[in-house]
């Protein structure tokens, strides 16, 4: 699946829970706010609405939030 011009976001350790991505990337003000957006069906993973706050997100997954697209990748330390 390819979304138009996603912002690539890197994490050292994957999988990561969905609400943590919104919080760490400062797309929301708090973890509680992130969980509420997810519960309200305002976040998509791979073009499907996701309502599980603790859904595990893996490298290669696409997230859509506030009409913006993000591609999750694992950072590689050499």
List, for residues 68-78, the tens digit of each pLDDT value.
Answer: 999 999 998 75
List, for residues 39-56, the tens digit of each pLDDT value.
Answer: 999 999 999 999 999 999
Domain 13-59 has CATH 3.10.290.10: yes
Is 90 exceeded by the pLDDT of residue 4? no
Determine what percent of the chain is predicted with pLDDT higher than 70.
95
Q: Please state the separation of Cα 75 from the chain's center in Å.
A: 15
In Å, how far are 6, 49, 73 from 2, measured between CA atoms? 9, 16, 14
26 CB contacts (<8 Å, ≥6 apart)? none
The domain locations on the chain are: 13-59
Element (H, E) at 57: strand 56-57
């Amino acid at each position: 699946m390819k979304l138009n011009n996603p912002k690539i976001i890197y994490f050292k350790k994957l999988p990561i829970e969905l609400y943590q991505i919104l919080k760490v990337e400062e797309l929301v003000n708090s973890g509680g706010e992130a969980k509420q957006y997810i519960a309200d069906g305002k976040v998509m993973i791979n073009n499907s609405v996701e309502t599980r706050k603790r859904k595990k997100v893996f490298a290669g997954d696409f997230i859509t939030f506030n009409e913006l697209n993000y591609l999750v990748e694992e950072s590689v330390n050499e």
